[in-house]
Amino acid sequence: MKAHDYERIAVSRDGRVLMLTLTAPNPVNAVDAIMHHELARVFLDAQDDPDSDLVVLTGAGRAFCAGGDTTWFKTQIEQPETFRAIGPEAKRIVTSLLDLEKPIICRLNGAAAGLGATIALLCDVIVASDRAVIGDPHVKVGLVAGDGGAVIWPQLIGFARAKELLMTGDMLDAPQALALGLVNHVVPHDELDAKVAEIAAKILGNPRWAVRWTKTIANIPLRALAAQINDAAMGYEMLSNLTNDRREAVAAFLEKRKPTLSGD
C-alpha cells in the first residue's frame, strides 16, 4: 500500500504496523463519496499488504469520523440513484473489515458517529481518548442505521441498550462507552499513542498466524450475522432516504434549526 493510492486516507508505517488515518476536507472527517469509495477497498488492500502484520486506524485532527457529510446527504436526497449506487460499497466496508485477518486497533482520537462509529466498533481493539464521543445518530438525519450499526452494536452491549441508542441517536462520552463495553480502554488524550503502542507490541509479540487465525475464527459469527443483515439493512436505509422527513431532517441540520417532522 502506498500513500498516493488514496485521497482521503493517509498511509504510514512503523515497522510492521500499518497506520491508516482518515482525512477529509472538513474538520470532523465526515465521509463523502471519495472517502466512502476508498473505505470500501482500503481493508482489502491492508489484507494484501506484504509489509504489515497489524493495522492501526485513526482520524486526523480532532475527530475520528463524524459519519456522512451533510453536503453529500443533500446530493443523495436530490439524486436518489447516487444512494442506490453506493449500496455495494457500504456492504463491502463492513465485510472487508470483518474479513481482515490482521489485527486492527482503533485509535479513537475524537468523535465517531454513524458510519464512523460502525467502523470503529468493527475493529478488534478500541483505545479511546478521554475526549472521544461515540454514537449512531442515523435516525436524527432521517436514515435507518443500515451501514453496520445494527450488526455490531447489539453484539457488544446487548439488544436492549443497543436498540435504545440506535433509536434515540444519543452520543456517549468515552467513560460511558467504556462502562457499557463498547471500547476496550479510555486514556488521557496525551497517552493515547502510548497505549496503542503498548497493545500493538503485545499482539505483535505473539506468533503471527496464531494471532491472525484466532481473530478469523472469533469473527465467524459476526461475518455470518453481517451476511444475514446487510442486504435488508441497506434496502431499508435506501427507502428511508426517500422519505419527506429525511429531506426535512437534513435541511434543518444545514439551516441549524429544529426539524418539523411530518411522519412521512
Expressed as residue numbers, the domain containing 213 is 3-190+204-255
User: 192-203: per-residue pLDDT in tens?
Assistant: 999 999 999 999
> Does residue 199 fall inside a structural domain?
no
User: 109-143: per-residue pLDDT in tens?
Assistant: 999 999 999 999 999 999 999 999 999 999 999 99
Evaluate the CA torsion angle 47, 60, 4, 197 in order and state its sign.
negative
> Does residue 195 fall inside a structural domain?
no
Q: What is the rounded CA–CA span in Å between residue 59 and residue 31?
A: 12
Question: How many domains are there within the chain?
Answer: 1
Residue 189: pLDDT over 80: yes
- Residue 149's nearest CA partner among 74, 88, 108, 94 is 94
241: CATH:
3.90.226.10
| Predicted TM-score (pTM) of this structure | 0.96
* Residue-level pLDDT at 1: 76
